[in-house]
Amino acid sequence: MSAVASTGGKGPSSGPFPSGKMSAWAVKLVILGLIDVLGIWALAKSLTAEWWLAVVFLALVLVAVNVVYFRRGGLPFKYLLPGLVFLIAFQLYPAGYTFGASFTNYGTGHLIPQEQVVTAIVAQSARPVAGSPSYQVTPLEKGGDIFMLITDPTAPNTAKLGSNEELVPAPDATFSSGKATGLEGYESLNLGTLASNPDWDQQWQALTVPWDEDAGVFLKAQSPARAAEVKSTVIYDKESDTFTDSTTGVVYSANGEIGLYTAPGFDLDGATTGVNAGKFLTPGWPVFVGVDNYTRMLTDPGVRANFIPILIWSFVFAIGTVLMQFVFGLLLAMVMQEKRMKGQKVYRILLVLPYALPIFMTALVWKGMFNKDFGIINQILGVDIDWLGNGTLAKIALLTVNLWIGYSYMFLVVTGALTSIPSDLREAAFVDGASGFKAFRTVVLPLLMVSVSPLLIASFSFNFNNFTLVELLTGGGPFPGSPVQGGQTDLLITYTYRLAFGTSEQLLGFASAISMLIFVIVAGFSAFGFRLTRKLEEIKA
């Protein structure tokens, strides 16, 4: 009574918030505030970079987050929204980008947009102008882009601001000892700040400022403080979208079929070497090539000779690994179920240890054990076998190591599944006269498959793309030819990685096409497996 009276009769829940809710509301407000700040910062960066897809996505996410978490009710959306955002950002977008790239010639020599290609061609063909003066310059940065602040030597306290696209006056520039050193809204850089940011340094080195466009003269940096006049050997005509070689008069036109500026006589069906030498300018830009990357897998004799064996081995490796791990894990699980066996807890701990060790360590240890000269396997057997240097033996080594790494997982899964199967069913089979094997085949195994089939499908998908083990143990080798042609233990995923990033020539478009093929294979196999699982569930019912 006295407690109620002292609070005016409202009890402990008085105030605008119910008891215990004030702190939760404050925590939510802080978290959402941080999300909004980060989202607005990312939105501003995307706007500066003119990445409109990211701008739309971030704007929708910010609106959705504030609406969902500030409104009452809608509890399911509060749990689903984070997963949906990450699904779109880290799954759907990369998949869509890969799908789009698979229809282009995206790769080495075709990495940047056509607008940047023009600047790159002009820059790389630039030659110093004899007798030209040296200009005092200052690197400037704004929104991640690098500009050149140029001190005009002909007029004191006069400066110009240059980029790859244009040269404009800079009347608001600040000067020190007659040199333009800064401009409002821009950050002045020096040798140290340029060196600390590789992207800024790369932009500064590539910056080519138009100085006298009629004469084809540009300014190019010699150091963070000096620039000199250079003249390109090719002159670009924006209206006709052509380059003209000032020394030979040859005109290079934009070829939209292959993404290159080509001269008359360029052989479209031939390679960009040999008969085409000197008849095109590099770099090029990505263009749409239709289904060429997909048909190339089967129609190009050189690609087909490497691609088909790798595809077959990928299936053999994935299916063989799943079968071996499942059978071995099943046998161990059945042995561990024998009640007469003593010390089962100790055995189970020992059997699970390989699964507890990181694959990075396990694969490298096995690689050392398979070493031809110093490996313990050859020392124990008293032989001199090059396990990882022979294609067939390297495949056997891969399957053996993967069995060691994965059997523990299957052992744990099958042990749990066997425990859930009623013993009455097996006893009923024995009463009907079934042998132990027949009872297992007709009763235990079908019920077991209902539980483990989805895990077997997932295991196939994982091992079909088991990049880590192959890369650490064999590196995809041995290689009968060049690495770009593929190795004898290469899976599709390691072959794709090598095409995209593993050699001096990056075939990103072709690698994207193979990635989409991997997706179709795994998705199709998974769909077929789940269909079989549903049939097994009908049998159980």
Residue 313 exposed, middle or buried by CB count within 10 Å (0-12, 13-18, 19+): buried
Read off the pLDDT of residues 453-477 as tens digits, 9 standing for 90 and up. Answer: 889 999 999 999 999 999 999 999 9
Q: Are residues 56 and 127 in the same domain?
A: no
Q: Are residues 500 and 406 in the same domain?
A: yes
Q: Are residues 225 and 352 in the same domain?
A: no
Q: Are residues 93 and 141 in the same domain?
A: no
**CATH number of residue 363's parent domain:** 1.10.3720.10
Domain boundary among 101, 129, 157: 101
Q: Are residues 66 and 137 in the same domain?
A: no
Q: Are residues 404 and 324 in the same domain?
A: yes
At residue 101, does pLDDT exceed 70? yes
At residue 110, does pLDDT exceed 90? yes
pLDDT computed for residue 502 by the predictor: 82
Question: How many separate domains does the chain show?
Answer: 3
Q: Are residues 87 and 130 in the same domain?
A: no
Q: Are residues 95 and 123 in the same domain?
A: no
Read off the pLDDT of residues 220-261 as tens digits, 9 standing for 90 and up. Answer: 999 999 999 998 888 888 899 999 998 889 999 999 999 999
Residue 334 exposed, middle or buried by CB count within 10 Å (0-12, 13-18, 19+): middle
Q: Are residues 65 and 210 in the same domain?
A: no
Read off the pLDDT of residues 489-533 as tens digits, 9 standing for 90 and up. Answer: 999 999 999 999 987 889 999 999 999 999 999 999 888 888 877
Higher pLDDT, 237 or 99: 99
Q: Are residues 410 and 309 in the same domain?
A: yes
pLDDT computed for residue 403 by the predictor: 96
Percentage of the chain lying above the pLDDT 90 cut: 56
Tell me if 2 is assigned to some domain: no
Q: Are residues 364 and 435 in the same domain?
A: yes
Cβ atoms of 154 and 146 within 8 Å: the answer is no
Tell me if 514 is assigned to some domain: yes
At residue 4, does pLDDT exceed 60? no
Tell me if 363 is assigned to some domain: yes
Domain boundary among 195, 216, 232: 232
Residue type, 317: F
Read off the pLDDT of residues 157-204 as tens digits, 9 standing for 90 and up. Answer: 899 999 988 899 999 999 998 899 999 999 999 999 998 998 899 899
Tell me if 160 is assigned to some domain: yes
Integer Cα distance of 480 and 488 in angstroms: 8
Domain boundary among 38, 67, 101: 101
At residue 318, does pLDDT exceed 80? yes
Q: Are residues 61 and 157 in the same domain?
A: no
Tell me if 238 is assigned to some domain: no
32 Cα distance to chain centroid:
29
Task: State the residue range of the domain holding 37.
Answer: 25-101
